[in-house]
Amino acid sequence: MADHGKQQGGEKTGSERVTAGPDKRFSEISARIAAERKEAEAAQGQTGRRTAAVGNTWGSAFRLGSEFVAAVLVGGGLGYLIDRLLGTLPFGLIILLLAGFAAGILNMARTAGRAPKAGERLNDGPDGPTD
């Protein structure tokens, strides 16, 4: 019969490995844990940067969308109030709703950096018009 302390091929069982060299086993486990921590920290750093970039993108999208909706609602509300005061029901609403739509588009373009700021349009340079 085979010896219970040895497996085939002369290998030690799990309990004998642990008792044979606990300091060596401890140092191996500590090294593996340290390596896993380094990998996890590196992955977390990359994920953290990606998460921040995605959050920044979502924040910009919500800001642009809310500014556009606000401009349209303000234009529509002012148009409706003017129509109620003057009795010209559809015309003020339509005109100021379109003006609010245009203001929302222009505001989104300015925020996204696609259109110049209001003061920059009128001046050729930062010091004023060059005549």
Mind listing the pLDDT tens digit for each residue in 56-112?
888 888 989 999 999 999 999 999 999 999 998 889 999 999 999 999 999 888 888
Give the residue ranges of DSSP H helices in 1-131.
Answer: 14-20, 22-86, 89-111, 118-122
Residue with tokens 């989104």: 108
Query: How many angstroms from the chain centroid is the CA of residue 46?
Result: 14
- Closest C-alpha among 66, 74, 61 to residue 112: 61
pLDDT at 5: 47
Q: Kindly report the pTM of this predicted structure.
A: 0.52
> Given a cut of 80, is residue 38 above it in pLDDT?
yes
pLDDT exceeds 80 at position 36: yes
Sign of CA dihedral 5, 8, 11, 15: negative
